[in-house]
Amino acid sequence: MTIQEWFDKRKQAQIERRAKDMKGIEENASGLWVKCVHCDSQILKSELEENLMVCPHCDYHFRINAKTRIAQLFDEGSFEELFKNVLPTDPLNFVDTESYAERLKKAHSKTGLDEAVITGLGKIEGHKIAAAVMDFDYMGGSMGSVVGEKVTRIMEKALALKIPMLAVTSSGGARMQESALSLMQMAKTSCAVGKLDEAGILYINLLTEPTFGGITASFGTLGDIIIAEQGARIGFAGRRVIEQTIRQKLPSDFQTAEYLLKYGQVDIVSKRKNLRKTLANILDMHGV
Amino acid sequence: MSIVLDFEKPIVEIQKKIDELKKMSEDSGMDLEAQIQDFEKQAQDYKKELYSKLKPSQKLQIARHQERPKFLDFVELMCEDFIELHGDREGTDDRAIIGGLAKIDGKPVMIIGIQKGKTTKENLEYNFGMPQPQGYRKALRLFKHADKFKIPVVTLIDTPGAYPGIKAEETGQGSAIAVNLREMSKLTVPIVAIITGEGCSGGALGLAVADRVMMLEHAYYTVISPEGCASILWRDASMYAEAAEALKITSKDLLELGIIDEEIPEPLGGAHADYKTTAESMKTSILKALKELNKLSVDELKEQRYNKFRAMGRFIEG
């Protein structure tokens, strides 16, 4: 290992560790200042928010929740939430070190959300669009029956209204506590994309930090156009699983948006501040 | 039986006694037929009892049994005139997924499956049944061929999961599977899928968006391997038996949950005890399903397939 590699690895580990605590940082930041998890600089909280939760010093993109994302992407007041009434249950009575029922309760009280996705209709610079926006803070954004159902319903809505569809993903993958029922949500949502595809409805993916597993292997990568947000980590298998399988060191930028762009897996890597304009332009050029 | 699973040891013990008695009877000329029959009955009863009450973790062992019949065994036993069709036309012929044209009961099918080996050498060739994106893309090419020429599709699935590797990520493991899920939903020909051994995660589902999804009795089908689940949720991979229980991975559980349409019985002692009977049962189920599906118009077929997966999931409507 060269010294540079050692530094890279150390930096990477630091970022990952802090990314995990990111929610904590936001919560602790009841004061005026927050510390950037990437460059350590002190940022005025209001300045960070005004800068779309991107560090003004090092351009590090903080992970943001679904509500913040919606506020950033859609025309003010245009987003109308749908299918909020679809709620989770515990079909397998799953218990590991904690019961699934308990985990659902905790996720709700932590986030105020009923599930890991918000679906609805909104406008981006005047363009009407159906959207599913995932929230990593709710059980790692994992896809169980509710996420699959809401994503499918909003796609069917886009189909019925003949308007474009946007999926903003942020998820660790399938929800283990629903086992095969969760796996089948991959099939269900992909079949729904098939309908959009056959009807010639524009479907756009926006992959954000992080997008993995069952999401990458279903509706998350089936877009006609795939945009990845700068710095987002995106992949099928997790880094640790790959390292254990192949027993070799992975490149430090492995599975980043930029890395995937280099290998032709995404169309566009975009800074957060440009996303709205990019989406509006794409919609415009498709005449939708 | 050359590989003995731990829970099968009592049967082997009884079998040893039977063999001893037989030898004794031969050597001494004593008539021990009654005792031998008694022990044989004991062995049989024990086996029946054992196999009717297998725990999920024991089924895992059977599903992963080195001598369990593999895709090419089933092709040989169920099909005539198999013509393998190789490659993804982009530079790769992933050996973990094998497919081609064949006849079942005289009728052509496109049969595609995940192949595992029985020896280390074979397993290296087939990458332990872990396909690369190029394997899924080869399958997709064959799906499209079948669609174009109106040939029904049969898939046989036996995988610990899609391969987690650097090149697999660089060449789009996730999207290769995703595209198959979407495209299978659009095929205009009947699709029958059978989980024959391990049905692990997206790597299995990538060939299983079918009109009829079946499972061999001791196969398992899950969103994540019990070991993987245990290491994440219990933070201890050795808790895999508990995870296997919680994940509801058996054919009976999945039939109840509506995830699969049919359980195909295995001979006593598991598929590895009797390849031929297993293959016969699979063939019967495939033919029956194809006969039913052939009656449907293309629109009905596609609609039923969509609705089948559309209905999966459990939630509350508040």
Amino acid making up residue A4: Q
Amino acid making up residue B284: T
Query: Tens digits of per-residue pLDDT, B161-177?
Result: 999 999 999 999 999 99
Q: What is the least distance, in Å, from the CA of B316 to any CA of chain A?
A: 5
- Among all residues of chain A, which has the CA nearest to that of B179? A222
Count Cβ neighbours within 10 Å for each residue of A111-128 and write b for 16 or more, e otherwise: bebbbbbbbbbbbbeebb
Return the pLDDT at A143. 98
Query: Tens digits of per-residue pLDDT, B255-269?
Result: 999 999 999 999 999
Cβ within 8 Å, pair B246-A92: yes
Contacts 24+ apart (CB under 8 A), A42-51: A51/A273
pTM of the full structure: 0.94
**Strand order through the sheet with A268-270:** A80-82, A117-124, A127-134, A165-171, A203-211, A225-229, A268-270
Q: What is the ipTM of this complex?
A: 0.95
Bigger pLDDT: A28 vs B93 = B93
Amino acid making up residue A269: V
Q: Is the pLDDT of residue B105 over 90?
A: yes
Least Cα distance to A231 among A77, A53, A25, A107 occurs for: A53
Residue B148: what are its φ and ψ, rounded to 5°? -65, -40
Tell me what percent of the residues of chain B surpass a pLDDT of 70: 99
Contacts of A197 in chain B (CB under 8 A): 182, 186
- Name the band, by pLDDT with cuts 50, 70 and 90, for residue A25: low
**B61-310 CATH fold:** 2-enoyl-CoA Hydratase; Chain A, domain 1 (3.90.226)
Query: Tens digits of per-residue pLDDT, B191-206?
Result: 999 999 999 999 999 9
Q: What is the DSSP letter of A75?
A: P
Q: Is the pLDDT of residue A23 over 50?
A: no
Do A232 and A257 contact (CB within 8 A), yes or no? yes
Do A94 and A139 contact (CB within 8 A), yes or no? no
- Return left, alpha or beta for B163; rule: phi > 0 is left, psi -120 to 50 is alpha, else beta: beta
Considering CB atoms only, which of B175, B202, B222 is closest to A179?
B222
- Among all residues of chain B, which has the CA nearest to that of A95? B246
Return the pLDDT at B244. 97
Domains of chain A and any CATH numbers:
1-60 (no CATH), 63-285 (3.90.226.10)
Strands B107-114 and B153-159: parallel
Q: Is the pLDDT of residue A108 over 70?
A: yes
